[in-house]
Amino acid sequence: MKKVLVLCTGNSCRSQMAEGYLRHFAGDQAEIYSAGVEAHGVNPRAVAVMREDGIDISGHTSNLIDEYLHLPFDYVITVCDHARERCPYFPTRAQKFHYNFPDPAKATGSEEEIMEKFREVRDMIREYCRTFATTHLRS
């Protein structure tokens, strides 16, 4: 079974959404993990917008990359430039992928404007994960 690690800065939004979608699209074809170079806690807005799309990430935890150094990953996906810059030393033979998604946690404006930014990023992550799972995780 393939093992995938999704990395982000704080493991609160983008990597959490990607973990949720990759689990959904991969089914039982892969084990999916997410972590950050810091742990900021799972963002409630990320939980809310994922729930709108039928994916429950409310039970996810925010984890540090150090917790997974012992696992033999097949793929490591960085979802922000900051994580890619901070993690070039990650000791793995895994194939590495990178996509710099905008950080919805930095959105400003009214609550509805902020939530709309979360939805935009969620939709981008959903399509990336659907393609990744189809290409790399399905037998």
CB within 8 Å of 26: residues ≥ 6 apart:
2, 4, 32, 133, 137, 138
What is the rounded CA–CA span in Å between residue 107 and residue 6?
22
Catalytic residue (one of 7, 8, 77, 94): 8
Distance between first and last Cα of the chain? 10
Catalytic residue (one of 42, 49, 87, 129): 87
Strand partners, 72: none
Active site residue 87: yes
Active site residue 8: yes
Catalytic residue (one of 76, 80, 83, 121): 80
Say if CB 18 and CB 34 are below 8 A apart. Answer: yes
Q: Is 5 helix (H, G, I), strand (E, B) or coil?
A: strand
Say if CB 36 and CB 11 are below 8 A apart. Answer: yes
The pair of structure tokens assigned to 137 is 């995780």
- The residues annotated with a catalytic role in the active site are 8, 80, 87
